Amino acid sequence: MNILAFNASPRKKWNTATMLAHVLDGARSKGAECEMIHLYDLAYKGCISCFECKKIGGKSYGRCAVKDELAPVLERAARADALVFGSPVYFGTESGEARSFLERLLFPFVTYTPGYQAIAPKKMPTALIYTMNVKEEALGQLGYNTFMNRMQGTMARVFGSCEVLTATDTCQFKDYGKYLTTAWDAAAKAKRREEVFPQDCAKAYALGERLAAPQAGEPIRGAM
């Protein structure tokens, strides 16, 4: 089983990447072959609205026609056995590179037919990981659940199932003293990093185990 992880944070070793690494460790423990792709290493843009992926009889029907550094990654994603995607929350939604990636990944697989029938070449378990500064209780108040549920629904429609895992109240810097961050209690953030983030990572590990060994016939449910 081949599982691809996509890190849509510019940071390769902090909250989002760490959560993804735990997902892959969990998947590897079940025998999966795994790879993490750091999207900020790649030069690409979002969907350019060329509609080549929807042209009747076109050579790129159902596939993204844009040829850039993301193109081979999208080909690999379509052939994988499971996908996990992680993004920090920036201004109340995914990061810019995350949006661009998701547009390119998903749009070719959604047809402009009644019910937006999906035409991904294969169904597979997928997961979305979101890390963010706000506390868990703010997810509903600030509408974060809405955007996460919407993307989860699209992923599930395209690939068959999608689980969402969040890490809230994340620690943004190793040393809060170096930055103007009077909005937060640095000691509380450090404590959270030490005590709660490992629990988030354990949930990520368990998610990886599930991705690598989904229950036959049972779609993976959202976990928000």
Ligand X SMILES: Cc1cc2nc3c(=O)[nH]c(=O)nc-3n(C[C@H](O)[C@H](O)[C@H](O)COP(=O)(O)O)c2cc1C
User: Which residues of the shown chain bind ligand X in the complex (CB under 6 A)?
Assistant: 9, 11, 14-17, 88-92, 131-134, 170, 172
**Which has the closest alpha carbon to 148: 206, 83, 82, 89?**
89
Tokens of 174: 């190793």
Nearest distance from C-beta of residue 176 to ligand X, angstroms:
12
**Which has the closest alpha carbon to 45: 18, 72, 66?**
66
Question: In this complex, which beta carbon is closest to ligand X, that of residue 88 or of residue 125?
Answer: 88
Phi, psi of 28 (to 5 degrees): -60, -35
Residues in the chain: 224
Bridge partners (DSSP) listed for residue 36: 5
Nearest distance from C-beta of residue 54 to ligand X, angstroms:
33
- DSSP state, 39? G
Nearest distance from C-beta of residue 196 to ligand X, angstroms:
13
Query: Count of CB atoms within 10 A of residue 22's CB?
Result: 22
Nearest distance from C-beta of residue 179 to ligand X, angstroms:
11
Question: In this complex, which beta carbon is closest to ligand X, that of residue 161 or of residue 170?
Answer: 170
Cα 82 from chain centroid (whole Å): 12
d(CA 96, CA 145): 18
Nearest distance from C-beta of residue 170 to ligand X, angstroms:
4
d(CA 206, CA 219): 16
Question: In this complex, which beta carbon is closest to ligand X, that of residue 58 or of residue 92?
Answer: 92
Nearest distance from C-beta of residue 53 to ligand X, angstroms:
30
Tokens of 75: 């080909």
Question: In this complex, which beta carbon is closest to ligand X, that of residue 91 or of residue 112?
Answer: 91
Cα 75 from chain centroid (whole Å): 17
